[in-house]
Amino acid sequence: MSLSSSVLRAVSGLLTPHEREAVLGDFAELGANDWRSIADILDLYFRRRIMLWKSWRPWLAAFGLAIPSSLTLMGLSVSIAQSGQRWINACVLNGAQVTLGPGFALLLSNIVLLVAWSFTGAFVMGSISRRTVRISVALSFVPCAFCLARFRIESLSRLCLLLFMIPAAWGLAHGLRFAHIRLRSAIFLAAIITVLTIPAWTSKGAWLPNWALSWPAWYLVATASRSAGSLKDRNPWQTN
């Protein structure tokens, strides 16, 4: 097999199997030059990619969720790691006696917020822009790589920056499979997030990161409510 034929086979992998067979068959019937065929396939592929970005959804997923959320969630991940370390050290000093004081309550609250924020943000990112989700994920790793390279807290592992990744991966997987979640589940998540962030709204400058991380939960409520309404319109006996 010549070099051009090998490249053509590799480039045709950018197409779906059905399209690949049809396109390669057409090229063979026309006796098209391999390099010209390669150029045509690449032109088709990139034009399709560009067309996806004419919608607002990929832009919101990439620059309204992936980048700002990863930056803020890394900060919360480090805060949780530091709080957990202080709580463990306090237990050791008290002779391994577990103390459930205000510090532990704040730690538990931040853990719940980290999981809820990560899950809902990644779910929305995956559900609103499935075909460009790889770019969104790649963009979310850019600030992670930057912060990992400059992490300087000696008492903590730099991997503590990535505590949010597990619930985010969970939410992304669900977002790619489903367009929305059940209305009750969406309301439950949004209510928990709102209640736990109420004390922070009085802090100066806290409203911006709280809003940036909380709106995906209420977006899920809106989409779940709209979906439930459409189901009831089709079937009046449908219950949520």
Mean pLDDT in residue range 186-213: 80
pLDDT, one tens digit per residue, over 167-194 is 999 999 999 988 788 899 999 999 999 9
pLDDT, one tens digit per residue, over 132-173 is 999 999 999 999 999 999 998 888 899 999 999 999 999 999
Determine the Cα angle at 158 with ends 157 and 164, to 5°: 105
pLDDT, one tens digit per residue, over 40-63 is 888 888 888 888 888 899 999 999
Question: Could you tell me which residues come within 8 angstroms of residue 240 by beta carbon, excluding any fewer than 6 positions away?
Answer: 182, 183, 184, 228
CB 167 within 8 A of CB 119: yes
- Domain map of the chain by residue range? 3-52, 57-234
Q: What is the mean pLDDT of the chain?
A: 83
**In angstroms, what CA-CA distances link 61 with 11, 91, 225, 230?**
28, 42, 21, 25
Q: Give the pLDDT confidence score for residue 240 in this predicted structure.
A: 38
